[in-house]
Structure 1
Amino acid sequence: MSGTEKEIEDEDLPMPHVKKSGLSHLEKGIERGGQRIRTALHGISRSNPSKDYEVLVPEGSDGYRLPQKPTVSDYILHPYRGFKHFAGQLVANFGWKFCTMIVCNYLAVKGLLLSAMGLVRLSYCKKTLGIDGAACQTVAAISSTPWAIKGAIGVVSDAYPLLGYHKSSYIILLSVVGTFAFFLLASLSIRSPMVAAALFFLANFQIATADLLCEGKYASLMQAKPQTGSSMVSLVWGCFQLGSLVAALIVGPIADNFDPQIIFWLCIPLAASIILPTSLGFLQDQKVAPEKRGVDWSLLKKHPYIISYCMIMALAALGNGLIDTLYFDSHLLQLIYSLFCMLLLSVLAFLWLPPMLAKCNFYMFLSSVLYVNIGGAQDFWFTADEQCVPGGPAFDYTYYNTYTWVVGACTGWVGIVLFQATMSGWTFRKLFWVTTLLQIVASAFDLLIIARWNKSINVSDKVFYMFGDAVIGPAVGMFAAMPALVLTSKLVPKGLESTVYALLAGFQNFGGVVSSQIGIYAIQYAGIKTTAPCNFDNLNTLVLVCHCLLPLIAVPLTFLLIPNKLMTDNILDEQQERSDPEDECIELTTAHLSFGANVDESSTTDKPMQEPARRQ
């Protein structure tokens, strides 16, 4: 017997040969259960890096494999056994409580809840609020603000333990606020887009905070147990995708047949679902000793540049949301403010961030800005009735939100496989060139449908859109996200990974906000009217400029901002780039930058209120 096995036997499990008089049936049952547990744990080693829970890591557990001579039943049961093995590993390594917390957050909150918010936005704007496309896009810009302040949320939670906890108290407080916001959205007859936008802001604040702090926790646990590999990330991604799929299947039919406001009643229990497991300590968030509570000024003083940048970016994003709310129809003022903030943050990035990191992040920020978001015009055109767009597609919400999302989800996964199989050995510059051109090709299908060219070849709008933008768009989104994620991971300074990831997430999400503000003004400037009397005469020109011509500017910028290196190469010079302007770095336990959660405006994890698998 190995020393590890003996340690497990001696310390953790009841000894079956011990005899005690007067054992109750319950005690005997526990004793027999201990015998079975000890047998099942044969060959399992233990490591306990944290006092929060016990971590068990099966030896050589790369995944469940078929027997050497599999039978038909082995093949039939293989998915079940593989999932059981995967779930068993997760529980053994992270504990069932923490796994429950992760499932609750990424299935119910970020999966179902966030996706439902994004999917219902279009129908809610048209059927309930009765506003036009530009106003609907302004609502989305306001509500997505919390995703641009992730860095500041992380700084505040790390520097000040609210009620003694760095994470749990913030999640509970904002979950109560988010739940109340959904209650108001469901129960009140809201007709003001500003009020609706403010409530959506609070709801997104809850989701963004829970996402950030849960990511920070599971990231630290994964670092403590590197042999667990990507199992926790797989759980997170799988829960999110499942939740998004269920939301898409529900929202479309309800929006077509009922008042979209009904969906917010379904959102209330989803928003509140995370409160109970967090209150019961499932997040494994340690309580800070009373003498150590209060603002941790030493933490803030050690890294003033990064923290200042996070806070300035948060103020800029909050200011943008405030101006959008107070001056809801002043789209020129909104545009001027967002462009000023873009200039300020870009200059500060080059002053306060390592040079290579600043260049690459600026490129990815500009890529988001240059692909101008005009969804307020496009979404309304695709779903307009016969009176507004005679002979138009007139897509219902079940098709536009549900069917296209399911197809887009599948092609998004195909995009990941194709990327890994054919592009993983390319240079970063070449990858960004190709993804930009593919984005333009995907947008070309919009041009063809709007010009009604598909009708000249007798192809219906639904077929052409389904096998055009709905298929190509998500795959292209994955192509664009993967090199950006890899490049960012190679540029993060050592010792500051989580903080910089959160900072860059906020900066690139703010790029999406700027893109929306430019698009809102462009819609107004083009004279497009999405409500009666409708006018979409210049929509094709707008799509051509915003989605085909402007993105091309990013191609020559790669020569200035992107290193001409393979994805497999090291980019940072060990001595030069890994030290930032402040020499010693600290690691704030914020969160990873997430790409691919296309829920709100475009992608898959950090962007909030737009239909999944849709253009931005």
Structure 2
Amino acid sequence: MDPIVRNAGILHPYGAEEADRQPDPVFSTTEDDAGIPLHPGAKRLFDNIPALRRIPIFGVACGAYGPACVISLALFHLLSKGLADGFIGGSIFPIFVNIYKVEAAHYQRLSGVIGLSFAIKAFTAVICDTFALFGYTKRWYMFGSCVLCGVFALLYGLLPANPSSGNIAAGFVFLSDYGMATVDILSEGFYSRLIRKIPKAGPSLVSWVWWFISCGGTLGVMIMGPLADHNMPQVGVFVAVGLQFLASLIYLFNLYGEKRNREERIEDARIMRKELLRELEKGKALSRKEGKKGTLDVDQGKALELEPIGDGETVALADDLPLNLTHTNQEEVQKLKEHAGTYQDEASPELLLPQPIICCCGLIEINKEVAMRNKRVLAYCLVITAAVITLGFGNILASTLGLLIICVVVSLVCSVMSFWALPLVIAKVNVFNYLSSAVCIGLPGISKFFIAGPDCVPGGPQFSLTFIFTVCTVISTVSSLTGILVFNYFFSKTNYRKIMIITTVILIPFVLPEIFILKRWNIQMGIPDQLFYIGTSTIISPLIGMVSWMPTVILLSRLCPRGSESMVYAVLASFSNLGSTTSTSIGAILMEYVWPIKSNPPCDFSNAVKLVVVCNIISPLQIIPLTLLLPNVRVSDDIDIDGKMIPKKTDEEPHVKPGKDSNEVH
């Protein structure tokens, strides 16, 4: 038995191999007041500096997952997804519009193409989960992506200042953002494994990561404001290049602490066996053998196809449960049964799943088991990739009617395919994320109203880029960080459906101030544009938006199957990002078909109010019935792949009472 189980009475979530490397006394008290196992490295750190344990969010995350992992996650998200993304993202508008002199309509289409970079990352995750590079499924892919991200950003900053550079620059920005998206999704896949092991600390870890994303992004955009006003936005791009190269060192030295591919496969096998035994006790084995829809395509189901022994033989995980025994050599099977019997619950892990296929003298390991287990997910990744490419070309080349047809076809095909490729609960969450993004229709064309000069909007707000990029971004980020705290301390144990309904109902009324500014009613009331804009759109909306967004991130982490976290997480995140692009396309269709807007002199924003009412007030109300697609459980609950709350009672914890039924509303 593991020393952790022997000394603490619970199974430590880091795995037997890691636990055995630690001295027994370390785990004699490795559990905090909330019942979260204490990481050995965190225990040493807290013993030396006890005050660190009392730091909000960090104390919980570090205690559960270890200081090296938590700090390295913070560094990447600060340097790359925070600062570098803020510099590059903040440079796009001033460089394309002020430096390249790209026309507004063309710029809007190029912006849509750039935004698709985060919707195509599912394809990358498929490659990374299937082909381990130099023994790792994430580490070296993240290193290479950071380097290439910096290279393409450098090329983008060096382009000449003329209109012909616009299309090329959009391509470079897309590739740079795609590299950043690759590292982002692999990092999310990495910490989703951690959250699956210790779900109670999941909200703290996600909050910790997004604190640094928000802080870094705020600082980057804040600096870009004055640089843009001084006509030097390329400086921010060159700084982003250096930050990307610096972030690559995290993966060069494996500061995340990612285990090698073979170790992770063994760990997955051990956990899968325990989950199978748990399901057998719950009476689910028969339904799984009969092919119950929604349970076999990902995680436990297909993962039970085992490595042949001898001539086409396979051995079952349970000693007396032959799942797929053909041409059986009884003597060999008996030996394996005896071998597994000596481990009690910990049967020899290498017998549970096929070993990776070694190629190119060890350069690449092919996880055939992962690919075969997720054949439908692989096909779905290709469908989403094709949808992204189609929507990208549609935004550039298609007419308004053609774009409408593309949006409808993409939405229907990808949504239906989701239920074919994914377990039912994951498919529902996937469709919810897409539709909830699509019904919040984006109106980027209206934003020109706030910064347009007197030749376009006489008597308009005429905000400067410094005000938008610096002042508003700082306030908005502080509001978003406050939203993280509000979620962490008030909503981390609330039902998913309740959170989405509450935030939707609260957020919609705060769209009204935008109508006041568009109609110039605030001036008639004696309220300056800047003060009115900051008090509503910059404070309340980001706070509520962050509270509504955090549960979806945690839910995705809880549902990602072991061994293919990056793949499934990327599919879900890509489809959600595709929903955001679809919403922008729908907004463009409404502007062209129903309520036209002209953003170049002579400008015409007379239909802007109608667009805001329909797209930002009426349409988002559809989120309320869509919440039925979410599992009826709390954020803090540990759930299985069927969306059911996992009872607290285990073999190692016979004294703990089972949890409440997952259908009970909390």
Contact 2:159–2:169 (CA<8 Å) still a contact in 1?
no
Q: Which residue of 2 aligns with 1:186?
A: 157
Cα distance change of structure 1 residues 406 and 338 upon mapping to structure 2, 3 Å threshold:
same
SS of residue in 2 equivalent to 1:161: strand
| Residue 143, structure 1, aligned to residue 114, structure 2 | yes
Q: Which residue of 1 aligns with 2:552?
A: 484
Q: Which residue of 2 aligns with 1:312?
A: 383
Q: Which residue of 2 aligns with 1:111?
A: 82
Match of 2:368 among 267, 287, 297: 297
Match of 1:343 among 406, 412, 423: 412
Alignment of 1:415-454 (within 5 A): 415-419=483-487, 428-454=496-522
Cα distance change of structure 1 residues 165 and 323 upon mapping to structure 2, 3 Å threshold:
farther
In 2, Cα distance between equivalents of 1:185 and 1:64: 45
| Residue 463, structure 1, aligned to residue 434, structure 2 | no
In 1, Cα distance between equivalents of 2:643 and 2:638: 9
In 2, Cα distance between equivalents of 1:575 and 1:164: 28
Alignment of 1:591-602 (within 5 A): none
Deviations along 1:486-505, whole A, 9 cap, x unmatched?
Answer: 55566666876664333211
Contact 1:45–1:59 (CA<8 Å) still a contact in 2?
no
| Residue 374, structure 1, aligned to residue 443, structure 2 | yes
Q: CA deviation at 1:462?
A: 0.2
In 2, Cα distance between equivalents of 1:215 and 1:554: 25
| Residue 244, structure 1, aligned to residue 217, structure 2 | yes
Deviations along 1:540-598, whole A, 9 cap, x unmatched?
Answer: 21112211122223334445x356x46369797x796679xxxxxxxxxxxxxxxxxxx
Deviations along 1:88-123, whole A, 9 cap, x unmatched?
Answer: 995997575x66753442111111011222333333
In 2, Cα distance between equivalents of 1:575 and 1:196: 42
SS of residue in 2 equivalent to 1:56: helix
Q: CA deviation at 1:389?
A: 0.7
In 2, Cα distance between equivalents of 1:456 and 1:556: 38
| Residue 272, structure 1, aligned to residue 245, structure 2 | yes
Q: CA deviation at 1:287?
A: 8.1
Deviations along 1:337-357, whole A, 9 cap, x unmatched?
Answer: 233111101011122323343
What are the ranges of 5 or more consecutive residues in structure 1 without an aligned counterpart? 5-40, 48-53, 66-77, 580-616
Contact 1:487–1:567 (CA<8 Å) still a contact in 2?
no
Q: Which residue of 2 aligns with 1:74?
A: none
Match of 2:597 among 528, 536, 548: 528
What are the ranges of 5 or more consecutive residues in structure 2 without an aligned counterpart? 5-22, 30-38, 263-357, 646-666
In 2, Cα distance between equivalents of 1:242 and 1:148: 24
Q: Which residue of 1 aligns with 2:470?
A: 402
Contact 1:425–1:566 (CA<8 Å) still a contact in 2?
no
In 1, Cα distance between equivalents of 2:425 and 2:243: 41
Cα distance change of structure 1 residues 173 and 333 upon mapping to structure 2, 3 Å threshold:
farther
Aligned amino acid, residue 81 of structure 2: K
Aligned amino acid, residue 196 of structure 1: A
Q: CA deviation at 1:453?
A: 0.6
In 1, Cα distance between equivalents of 2:96 and 2:103: 8
Aligned amino acid, residue 408 of structure 2: L
Aligned amino acid, residue 528 of structure 1: I
In 1, Cα distance between equivalents of 2:111 and 2:443: 12
**426-435 or 519-528, larger mean C-alpha shift:** 426-435
The total of aligned residue pairs comes to 516
Cα distance change of structure 1 residues 541 and 201 upon mapping to structure 2, 3 Å threshold:
same
Q: Which residue of 2 aligns with 1:474?
A: 542
Q: CA deviation at 1:179?
A: 1.9
Q: CA deviation at 1:280?
A: 4.1
Tell me the TM-score normalised to structure 1 length: 0.73
Contact 2:554–2:635 (CA<8 Å) still a contact in 1?
no
Q: CA deviation at 1:210?
A: 1.3
Contact 2:91–2:237 (CA<8 Å) still a contact in 1?
no
Q: Which residue of 1 aligns with 2:41?
A: 56
Structure with the larger RCO, 1 or 2 (CA within 8 Å, 6+ apart): 1
In 2, Cα distance between equivalents of 1:465 and 1:268: 33
Q: CA deviation at 1:218?
A: 4.4
Q: CA deviation at 1:514?
A: 0.8
Q: Which residue of 2 aligns with 1:26?
A: none
Q: CA deviation at 1:166?
A: 2.9
| Residue 210, structure 1, aligned to residue 183, structure 2 | yes
Contact 2:64–2:198 (CA<8 Å) still a contact in 1?
no
Q: Which residue of 1 aligns with 2:454?
A: 386
Deviations along 1:229-286, whole A, 9 cap, x unmatched?
Answer: 7776565334323312321320111112224333222222122223344334445554
Cα distance change of structure 1 residues 447 and 337 upon mapping to structure 2, 3 Å threshold:
same
In 1, Cα distance between equivalents of 2:372 and 2:591: 45
Q: CA deviation at 1:60?
A: 10
Deviations along 1:184-239, whole A, 9 cap, x unmatched?
Answer: 22111252433222111101111111122233334446667889877765653343
Cα distance change of structure 1 residues 338 and 433 upon mapping to structure 2, 3 Å threshold:
same
In 2, Cα distance between equivalents of 1:106 and 1:551: 30
Match of 1:128 among 99, 111, 116: 99
Alignment of 1:6-17 (within 5 A): none
SS of residue in 1 equivalent to 2:539: helix
Contact 2:190–2:566 (CA<8 Å) still a contact in 1?
no
In 1, Cα distance between equivalents of 2:641 and 2:142: 39
Tell me the TM-score normalised to structure 2 length: 0.68
Cα distance change of structure 1 residues 84 and 548 upon mapping to structure 2, 3 Å threshold:
closer
Contact 1:64–1:85 (CA<8 Å) still a contact in 2?
no
Deviations along 1:434-489, whole A, 9 cap, x unmatched?
Answer: 32233321221111100101011100000000101111110121232134345556
Cα distance change of structure 1 residues 62 and 206 upon mapping to structure 2, 3 Å threshold:
farther
In 2, Cα distance between equivalents of 1:454 and 1:463: 10
Aligned amino acid, residue 500 of structure 1: V
Match of 1:516 among 566, 584, 604: 584
Contact 1:45–1:58 (CA<8 Å) still a contact in 2?
no
Cα distance change of structure 1 residues 361 and 171 upon mapping to structure 2, 3 Å threshold:
closer
Cα distance change of structure 1 residues 274 and 433 upon mapping to structure 2, 3 Å threshold:
closer
Q: Which residue of 2 aligns with 1:609?
A: none
In 2, Cα distance between equivalents of 1:569 and 1:324: 40
In 2, Cα distance between equivalents of 1:103 and 1:239: 6
Cα distance change of structure 1 residues 491 and 180 upon mapping to structure 2, 3 Å threshold:
closer
In 2, Cα distance between equivalents of 1:271 and 1:163: 22
SS of residue in 1 equivalent to 2:597: coil
Cα distance change of structure 1 residues 562 and 95 upon mapping to structure 2, 3 Å threshold:
closer
Contact 1:43–1:58 (CA<8 Å) still a contact in 2?
no
Across the aligned residues of Structure 1 and Structure 2, the Cα RMSD in angstroms comes to 4.0
Q: CA deviation at 1:42?
A: 13
Q: Which residue of 1 aligns with 2:614?
A: 545
In 1, Cα distance between equivalents of 2:71 and 2:556: 30
Cα distance change of structure 1 residues 406 and 84 upon mapping to structure 2, 3 Å threshold:
closer
In 1, Cα distance between equivalents of 2:545 and 2:48: 30
Contact 2:42–2:63 (CA<8 Å) still a contact in 1?
no
Q: CA deviation at 1:143?
A: 1.4
Cα distance change of structure 1 residues 381 and 89 upon mapping to structure 2, 3 Å threshold:
closer
Cα distance change of structure 1 residues 280 and 575 upon mapping to structure 2, 3 Å threshold:
closer
Cα distance change of structure 1 residues 449 and 95 upon mapping to structure 2, 3 Å threshold:
closer
Q: CA deviation at 1:393?
A: 0.6
Cα distance change of structure 1 residues 391 and 511 upon mapping to structure 2, 3 Å threshold:
same
% identity of equivalent residues: 28
In 2, Cα distance between equivalents of 1:439 and 1:428: 17
